[in-house]
Amino acid sequence: MNRFKAILALIIVSIVAVPAVASAGPMARIAKEHAKEHAKAKAKAKAKAKAKAKAVAKAKAKAVAKAKKTILAKRKAQAKAKKKEFIAKHGPILRRPKVRAELATHANRVARLKRIQFIAKRKGDVKTVKRTEVLLRLERARHNRKLDQLKRS
């Protein structure tokens, strides 16, 4: 009887094990194919997201360029109007070398002070911002006094 049980156990093991081994092959292949398809789909989604991000960045860049162009045109028009007003106000004295020198000095001082003010604002240095505002006011007053003096002479 023990011998019979051993043979029966061997037959059962071989019947159960063989189909399991035989089915492991196709199941493994199916799992492998599924993994490949999943990887392809993931790569495709990643490429699509990258393309979309690139398109969005391109659209933003285009909008920024358009806005920049508009701002530059507006600034150019403002500068032209300001120059015209300045020429109308001061007229013929603008040809004098001393007046030109004063205008250059004033432009340099104002540019430096505005640059200092810009950097101070960016850093959050309130004390320096206030100081540059005062200095700009003083420089404009000095410049106007100097122009009036040059007009009289």
pLDDT tens for 44-80 read 888 889 999 999 999 999 999 999 999 999 999 999 9
**Both 62 and 115 in a single domain?**
no
Domain that holds residue 55: 44-91
Say what the pLDDT of residue 41 is: 86
User: What is this structure's pTM?
Assistant: 0.54
**Both 106 and 58 in a single domain?**
no
Which tens digit of pLDDT belongs to each residue from 89-117? 888 888 899 999 999 999 999 999 999 99
**Both 146 and 103 in a single domain?**
yes
**Both 56 and 85 in a single domain?**
yes
Say what the pLDDT of residue 9 is: 67
**Both 116 and 79 in a single domain?**
no
Q: Is residue 37 assigned to a domain?
A: no
Confidence label for 8 from pLDDT (cuts 50, 70 and 90): low
Count how many domains the chain has: 2
Q: Is residue 144 assigned to a domain?
A: yes
**Both 60 and 83 in a single domain?**
yes
Give the Å distances, CA to CA, from 91 to 87, 106, 118: 5, 18, 33
Say what the pLDDT of residue 36 is: 85
69-102 per-residue burial string, b: 16 or more CB within 10 A, e: under 16: eeeeeeeeeeeeeeeeeeeeeeeeeeeeeebeeb
Confidence label for 126 from pLDDT (cuts 50, 70 and 90): very high
**Both 87 and 100 in a single domain?**
no
**Both 116 and 144 in a single domain?**
yes
**Both 87 and 64 in a single domain?**
yes
